[in-house]
Structure 1
Amino acid sequence: MTVTLNPALDLTVQAGGWQRGEVNAAQGAQQDAGGKGVNVAAILADWGAPVAATGLLGRDNAAPFETLFRDKGVSDEFVRVPGATRVGLKIVDPTRGDTTDLNLPGLTVSARALAHLQATLRSQPAGVEVVALCGSLPPGVHASFYAEEVARLREQGRFVALDTSGEALRAALTADTLPQLIKPNIHELETALGHPLTTDAEVLAAARDLIRRGAELVAVSQGERGALLVTAREAVFARPPRVTVQSTVGAGDAMVAGLISAHLDGLNLESAARRATSFSAGSITRLGAHLPPRADLDALAAQVQVEPAQPLTA
């Protein structure tokens, strides 16, 4: 199950060579139901994993999300709330190979809606092994929400993955109970820890500290450079193959989905790194949260360079 408190309708505009402060011509646009947990669920569904998605969804524009869930075969357990889900603007520049994000804060959440969502999480059957808490927190939700839910979910015996940022990540990383899987990007981890990580050794040390405090896998993504993946016994760096980029939106979400699928399949760290990196690389060749065909993913996974990081000591 994935949890998205602050989903978004992503309006992706393709504008090659656009200039800030100028009138620009766009070559195309499309709108997709998005948000980090929504994207993770969509990618897992593409892989063939059974998945449910929950969170808070505005009633006024729920149709695109409902269509996505129906088309992908994702079980829709979202709590409907009054109002419209926010829109996120993504400006893709194919000539530079980059994406600019403009994200609105989202709907203000009532105590009643939040309690309904928490009841949904508490009532999940034992067969729901993994719960992924994803994305930003909307107005009205305290920064400690994820940290508190991690503790409750782990008490239930769930495997908890966390992909968030800002104060929500800081609160989760300083809590007594950490998620089993933590996937920040390098900038999110620096912000949460309150200091820069300027060398590979410093990134590794930060990840190792989270492992010592109770996490089982820490994956620190670093854009096109790759990702560091650390467990209690191993640490590897996975470097992605070169691909033709359509949009980098959702690349981190695809990596989370890959790591979750690897956990469900019991893969070792190297195989998990290859799968997660192939998911991420494959997703950026598409607009929206979609995976390429399985054969293409297998080819990408074979091209991922997985190198041992500094050996870990007890």
Structure 2
Amino acid sequence: MSAQLHTVTANPALDQTVSLDALQAGSVNIAREARVNAGGKGVNVASCLADWGLPVAAHGLLGRDNSGPFEQLFADKNIADRMLRVKGATRTNIKLADLSRHDTTDINLPGPACGETDWATLSDKLAALGSGDIAVLAGSLPPGLAADSWARLCAQLKGQSVWVLLDSSGPALAAALANPPEALPDCVKPNREELAQWAGRPLGSLDEVARCARLLQQSGVSLVAVSLGEQGALLDDGEQSWLASLPPQQPLSTVGAGDAFVAGLAAARCASLGQADSLRLAMGFAAAKLRRLGPHLPDREDITALAAQTSLRALLPGETS
């Protein structure tokens, strides 16, 4: 049986994106348009994978009071809906897209409180995943769950021989990275700030980022990817540290570009690509997402063209001893 793709979203969100000609703080702003999309990191990853043409199952904790937009997204994209319904309403995240500056201001609201019983039920459902399957654990944890919840789920899935990609931050990421070597995720995808928070020091230069990523890789995480915004992204597998960049882009919205990058890494793993081609594909996913509002990607040909435009530069060589 071929590898199956799964995403897990502990704290999904309804993303309300408001597009403005120019955001004026402290003033009345007239929106050009507003739209609401079912989101949350893992949901966005599943959406991008489906757009690429891969079958994927979405797991997680979903508030039953407003689950309709998520159910519609899953139905529209043929994503297997494995979300566990919990009491309450899924949170709303507000995205203010400033079209003049090509940037976005995020206001993230808290989600419904979940308990250990909910997490145990979700973990039990994920016990069906098997050897070679790919699981993307993505996003923050909702109120009520312990900071080591991702760490415990990662340990469980690794025990099931699942390939695990973790995209989280803060105490939840730190707890997962404190797991013993056999229970560490196979891949992590922090941004520069999240990596610096884990390291406990600023990472001002690319060399500092590369050496910190290598340190994390040497701790037992096979693949470390670091998103760097306009500077591109870094990927380290212990053999080589690659810096990827693209020609300057004119983003319609930066929301979800990191999630698209993660989806590209998962798609590359599914296709058994080498690390350089994996990084190119992930960059293609991220750049393509910059041109779309909501958790959607353009045609496969557009993504492939952007991936081909990605340039790679070697930063750190592999260890020789």
Give the Cα separation in 1 of the matches to 2:185 and 2:247. Answer: 29
Shift of 1:218: 0.5
1:171 aligns with 2:175: yes
For normalisation by structure 1, the TM-score amounts to 0.97
Aligned length: 313
Shift of 1:304: 0.9
- Name the aligned partner's letter for residue 208 of structure 1: R
The runs of at least 4 consecutive aligned structure 1 residues that moved more than 2 Å come to 240-244
Percent identical pairs in the alignment equals 49
Shift of 1:127: 6.5
Q: Which residue of 2 aligns with 1:244?
A: 250
Give the Cα separation in 2 of the matches to 1:147 and 1:72. Answer: 30
Q: Which of 76, 92, 98 matches 1:87? A: 92
Shift of 1:271: 0.8
Q: Which of 154, 160, 167 matches 2:158? A: 154
Give the Cα separation in 2 of the matches to 1:58 and 1:271. Answer: 38
Shift of 1:240: 2.2
- Contact 1:216/1:232 (CA < 8 Å) preserved in 2? yes
Q: Which residue of 2 aligns with 1:204?
A: 210
- Contact 2:132/2:163 (CA < 8 Å) preserved in 1? no
Give the Cα separation in 1 of the matches to 2:40 and 2:229. Answer: 19
Q: Which residue of 2 aligns with 1:13?
A: 18
Q: Any unmatched runs of 5+ in structure 1?
A: none
Give the Cα separation in 2 of the matches to 1:34 and 1:225. Answer: 26
Shift of 1:17: 1.4
Partner SS, residue 106 of structure 1: coil
Give the Cα separation in 2 of the matches to 1:19 and 1:69. Answer: 36
Give the Cα separation in 1 of the matches to 2:102 and 2:308. Answer: 24
Q: Which residue of 2 aligns with 1:234?
A: 240
Give the Cα separation in 2 of the matches to 1:255 and 1:266. Answer: 16
Q: Which of 78, 86, 111 matches 1:106? A: 111
- Deviates most, 206-215 or 283-292: 206-215
Q: How do 1:102-141 residues align onto structure 2 when only pairs under 5 Å count? A: 102-124=107-129, 126=130, 129-141=133-145
Q: Which of 60, 65, 68 matches 2:70? A: 65
- Contact 1:6/1:35 (CA < 8 Å) preserved in 2? yes
Given the superposition, is the C-alpha separation of residues 34 and 80 from structure 1 closer, same or farther in structure 2, using an over 3 Å criterion? same
Shift of 1:301: 1.1
- Name the aligned partner's letter for residue 17 of structure 1: A
Q: Any unmatched runs of 5+ in structure 2?
A: 1-5
Give the Cα separation in 2 of the matches to 1:199 and 1:173. Answer: 23
- Name the aligned partner's letter for residue 273 of structure 1: L
- Contact 1:178/1:213 (CA < 8 Å) preserved in 2? no
- Contact 1:238/1:274 (CA < 8 Å) preserved in 2? yes
Q: Which of 270, 288, 305 matches 1:299? A: 305
- Deviates most, 281-290 or 15-24: 15-24
- Contact 1:241/1:281 (CA < 8 Å) preserved in 2? no
For normalisation by structure 2, the TM-score amounts to 0.95
Give the Cα separation in 1 of the matches to 2:289 and 2:132. Answer: 25
Shift of 1:128: 6.4
- 1:56-104 CA-to-partner distances (Å, cap 9, x unmatched) read 0011110000000011111000000111100000000011010010001
Partner SS, residue 39 of structure 1: helix
Partner SS, residue 316 of structure 2: coil
Q: CA RMSD in A?
A: 1.2
- Deviates most, 298-307 or 33-42: 298-307
Give the Cα separation in 2 of the matches to 1:241 and 1:47. Answer: 22
